[in-house]
Structure 1
Amino acid sequence: MLLLAVDTATPAVTVALHDGESVLAESDQVDARRHGELLIPSVDRVLAEAGLKLDAITGIVVGVGPGPYTGLRVGLVTASTFAAVLGVPVHGLCTLDGLAYAAGTAGIEGPFTVATDARRKEVYWARYEDPRTRVGEPAVDRPADIAEEVAGLPAVGQGALLYPEVFPDARGPEHQSAAALASLAAERLAAGAEFLPPTPLYLRRPDAQVPKNYKVVTPQ
């Protein structure tokens, strides 16, 4: 088994290689505006570090979000393209699940909350019983609207750090890690668990909208 994991659903452009037992190489860069520029060079870098070629990959793991529209699609399109070219499966995982798994490696056992920045003064969030067990589905809300639901719980992720009045016990990791995502995927593959399709989990409509009641000009 050789998994290539990528995630661009958050400001982190993160890539990792996993052989089913451990992480062979990883690259993490935080730049919310350069997902498209940084992802492919990051893939090249982790392959070179591991001394491997792309055709050695047996599966692709990709974070499906939730996340902002443009950045999220970079990772998903890249993962699906690699999978199609190589003829290997692509396994989707919730980005918040990857952060939760990373929280476990950092010593947080649960219960806890994962929250990432959704912009518009909102967060993408979910509650977890432990690093591998999410409670319910991910959601997007204003922090003040979920204060009672997350009260008293530790929280990880950039969203938690941005709103300390709602998440007073905010901790690291702040950003997504493809190494954690790959490790979680390897566990789930070994257990025969199901994965999400490689389609974006937006949770809300994109900013760009087709204007209503616009004037149609037809040729004479």
Structure 2
Amino acid sequence: MRKSGDAAIAAVTVVALCAGAWLLGGGSGTGAPPQPSPAQAASGTGPETGASAAPALAPSPPDRVRIPAIGVDAPLTGLGLTASGSLDVPPPRQKNLAGWYEDGVTPGERGTAIVAGHVDNAEGPAVFYRLGALAKGDAIEVARRDGGVAVFTVDAVEVYAAAGFPDEKVYGAAARPELRVITCGGGYTRGTGYQGNVVVFAHLTGAR
């Protein structure tokens, strides 16, 4: 287990996001969600976009997340931990709802803030269905209760098998304001659902 803010999150973080209920029910139309290409992975040499980091913001709970490149504009609900230490998830029936880990740092504070949401539900694609289509340099905006908006720039988009989820890389402490956005991804089977997670890595580049 690793620390994010003041509480630990188990490596099995978002297993409850990953049943693939829509596809299990014979989902049609657009089919499986997009997955990130190798070109969007981190190079390991620091910020990928060349965008400089903005100063950290004062703590303020977030109200909404917007990701213009993939058409996301969704309210945020607070998430805690389950009894097993994994991150709880938003109610699956509310397909346009994401959650943030409220025992960690708030988006825009120094450290690693966590946002998670479903890729689908029994009725079809959900809030982060197209998360894997994001690219380096795309913007993520988080509206905060103090009236401000924290603007993050995507550094990398990666997909991990559940068995090899890198909890330190995803949840580890950061010296600057960073954001992780997480949903299900990777291989899919009707027997197991999605077999991994898509993770977006971003850092604060502005505020308004």
TM-score by length of 2: 0.27
TM-score by length of 1: 0.26
Instruction: Point out the structure with max Rg over C-alpha.
Output: 1
Structure with greater helix percent: 1
